[in-house]
Homo-oligomer: A and B are copies of this chain.
Amino acid sequence: MSKFWSPLTASLVPYVPGEQPKDKAYIKLNTNENPYPPSPRVIEAITAAANADLRLYPDPTCEGLVQAAAKYYGLSARQVFVGNGSDEILAFAFAAFFDPAKKILFPDITYSFYKVYAKLYGLQTELIPLDEQFNVQVDQFHSDNGGIIIPNPNAPTAQLISLEQIKMLLDNNPNQAVIIDEAYIDFGGQSAVQLIQQYPNLLVVQTLSKSRSLAGLRVGFAFGSEELIEGLNRIKNSFNSYTLDRLALAGAIASFEDEAYFKETTAKVIHTRERVADQLLALGFKVTESKANFVFISHPSIAAEGIFKQLREKGVLVRYFAQARIDEYLRVSIGTDDEMDAFVRAVQEIVGL
């Protein structure tokens, strides 16, 4: 505590990102990064943009990138917003759309940044429980709320809800913003972007961090009606006019120009995920049905925290959440086949098979 802090600063409970230990080289399966490098075209575009023009401000409207993303999804530029990672966009969206006079709704087990944003903006929250199988119970999101946010697939549970369920949610909640956070959608899900023409209150948030192997570049997107996108721009332009640097803009544009590479690498991650899930089932683990680039697993007789610690000693980092309902689970990012073979071998030793 400092006497120079505002009351807000003193009240916050900041987010804690996954650990990035520097003590030794780990097989890093703890922050849902893509094991494959970004497309060579991205590297070329960034290298070309590393020039004297860095002395100039970037385009504050990010027009080139907005148009590339709009074209990719068949939208107009006025239905697209870009930001410094999808976390920044989520922060803007909580401020832009959620009503402080009512409770905002999200699943009880979900991305842990949501409750941090709520605290930042003084928003009341109501957690809607997942069912026993960790499915999002769409019908439990009652309409007396100040806004809704759901990740699809959900994190860390990895499970998907269908577009039919999202439509039901939107039909039941026509008077407030509904945000679908699609950080992991490209690993087997169907994007709700196709619903935005029909639902002016739907905001779909995506990122280049996962499926396009660009966590290090910090680029995210929001897709929605013109009025929602204008709302995001009002917040952004009251906060920072130039949120994306020239290199991120160049690399992000190029990432949409290599569809073959994108399809190939996401297919590889999906293929590895399915193989590893089968191996874990054979080792006695419970494995939720994942449509993400990670699996969410639990062993019936060995404590998750113990497995987490033993894996760490063996040089494999996964994510453990000391949190009610999921403290017997581990979240394991999908690495390369070699990395996952090493992970499965380590797990075999731990479970004694």
B2 with A238: CB separation less than 8 A: no
Encoded as 1 (CB less than 8 Å from any B CB) or 0, chain A from 237 to 255 comes to: 1111111111110010000
- Chain B CB within 8 A of A51 CB: yes
- Contact partner of A57 among B33, B56, B95, B231, CB < 8 A? B33
Encoded as 1 (CB less than 8 Å from any B CB) or 0, chain A from 70 to 104 comes to: 00000000000000110110010001111110000
Say whether, besides A96-B9, A245-B218, A246-B217, A37 and B55 are in contact (CB < 8 Å): yes
B57 with A17: CB separation less than 8 A: yes
Say whether, besides A215-B57, A247-B247, A240 and B52 are in contact (CB < 8 Å): no
A84 with B201: CB separation less than 8 A: no
A248 with B247: CB separation less than 8 A: yes
Q: Say which size band chain A's interface belongs to.
A: 35 or more
Residues of B within 8 A of A97 (CB): 4-6, 9
Distance in Å from the Cβ of A101 to the closest Cβ of chain B?
A: 8
Give A155 to B132 CA distance when docked, in angstroms.
59
Closest to A249 in B: B216
A6 with B98: CB separation less than 8 A: yes
Interface centre among A7, A54, A243 (most CB of B within 10 A): A54
Encoded as 1 (CB less than 8 Å from any B CB) or 0, chain A from 47 to 71 comes to: 1001111111111100000000000
A59 with B98: CB separation less than 8 A: no
Give A79 to B17 CA distance when docked, in angstroms.
22
- Chain B CB within 8 A of A110 CB: no
A241 with B5: CB separation less than 8 A: no
Give A345 to B122 CA distance when docked, in angstroms.
56
Interface centre among A15, A177, A218 (most CB of B within 10 A): A218
